[in-house]
Chains A and B, each alone.
Chain A
Amino acid sequence: LKQLESGLLLVTGPYKVNGVPLKRVNQSYVIATSTKVNISGVDVSKVNDDYFKREKAPKAKKTEDNFFAQSTEQKKELSEDKKKTQKAVDAALLKTLKTDKLLAKYLGARFSLTKGMRAHELQF
């Protein structure tokens, strides 16, 4: 969607299409393709590097009971706020994808090399 100040790329699935949420990706792990999607209706001005900062969990008191109790890791649920932003960002994208169903399928598919495909000879 855009390049963040840290140099990382902000991407999204969209979440409904392939389960990829709003996330940051390093450019080294990315191969750019010539396929373009219209993102003119997408507003990601609020999503910055700070958006992805870790939320500090309240420290539990170090008592004997706590120490011996089985550590039940609480699954970190995404805040409702973040879910909303995800939906808002994806809404515009899903609109454009509805017109091009093959593109939607393409985004949901996983990349793999088959016989005879030489990665260094492929055009992306």
Chain B
Amino acid sequence: RTSAILSKMVYKRFVEIGRVAFVSFGEDQGKLCAVVDIVDQNRALIDGPNIRRQAIGFKFLHLTGFVIQIGHGAGTTAVKKAWEKEGIEEKWQQSRWYKKLQMKATRRQLSDFDRFKLMKVKQRRSWLIKMEMGRLKKAQKK
């Protein structure tokens, strides 16, 4: 996976046994799973700690940068073990992707009063920036 050829390729994340993917649609939306086997051109068998073992279309999988070491067709317990070994949960939660999702979720849940507070804070921040900018400009003029 760290070969010179791969480093020159446009695509960096491949569908492979053990590739961790993000489910983007359906009941299990937002959950992570690992590709356990390939069913056909469009579907993969996936499994994960919080998700039922199932065949799912590639269209609904967004590949992450993580891979776990499993054999093809590995059982649920084997997948779980490999998952924990790689520490996927922690890696995922430290990723920017996950943090952005969390941010979007909190924004969606803001009450009207929260939005008002946010607006005031943003105004304050831009005011501070403008003040500093003004100071810098003045210093430059001298």
Interface residues of A (CB under 8 A from B): 33-35, 102-103, 105-106, 109, 111, 121-124
B1 within 8 A of A: no
Q: Which of B96-133 contact A (CB under 8 A)?
A: 108-113, 116-117, 120
10 contacts between A and B (CB under 8 A): A35-B112, A35-B113, A102-B117, A103-B113, A105-B120, A111-B112, A121-B108, A122-B112, A123-B109, A123-B110
Report the minimal beta-carbon distance from B107 to chain A, rounded to whole angstroms. Answer: 10
A3 to B112, CA, bound (A): 22
Q: Which residue of B lies closest to A122 (CB)?
A: B112
For the A-B complex, the count of residue pairs with Cβ-Cβ distances under 8 Å equals 28
* Cβ contacts under 8 Å, B113 to chain A: 33-35, 103, 106
- Find out whether the CB atom of B116 lies under 8 angstroms from the CB atom of A34: no
**A109 to B119 alpha-carbon distance, docked (Å):** 12
Assembled-state Cα–Cα distance A35/B113 (Å): 7
Q: How far is the CB of B116 from chain A (nearest CB, A)?
A: 5
> How far does the alpha carbon of A34 sit from the alpha carbon of B115 in the complex, in Å?
12
Is A123 a contact of B108 with CB atoms below 8 Å?
A: yes
Please name 18 further chain A to chain B contacts, defined as beta carbons within 8 Å, in addition to the given A33-B112, A35-B111, sorted by A numbering.
A33-B111, A35-B112, A35-B113, A102-B120, A105-B116, A105-B120, A106-B113, A106-B116, A106-B117, A109-B116, A111-B112, A121-B108, A122-B112, A123-B108, A123-B109, A123-B110, A123-B111, A123-B112
- How long is the Cα–Cα vector from A34 to B110 in the complex, in angstroms? 10
A35 to B115 CA separation, bound complex (whole angstroms): 12
Compute how far the CA of A33 lies from the CA of B112 in the bound complex, rounded to whole angstroms. 7
CB closest chain-B residue, reference A36: B113
Give the distance in Å from the alpha carbon of A105 to the alpha carbon of B120 in the complex.
Answer: 10
Chain B: which residue is nearest A103 at the CB level? B113
Bound form: Cα–Cα A106–B114 in Å: 10
Most buried by A among B110, B112, B120: B112
Q: Check A124 against B108 for contact (C-beta < 8 Å).
A: no
Nearest to A109 among chain B residues (CB) is: B116
Q: Which of A103, A105, A124 contacts B111 (CB 8 A)?
A: A124
Q: Closest residue to A106 on the B side, CB-wise? A: B116
Minimal beta-carbon separation of A101 from chain B (angstroms): 11
**Bound: A111/B113 CA distance, A:** 10
Within 66-117 of B, Cβ neighbours of A (below 8 Å) are at 108-113, 116-117
Q: What residues of A have a CB within 8 angstroms of the CB of B120 in the complex?
A: 102, 105
Least Cβ–Cβ distance between A93 and chain B, in angstroms: 16
Residue of B nearest to A124 (CB): B112
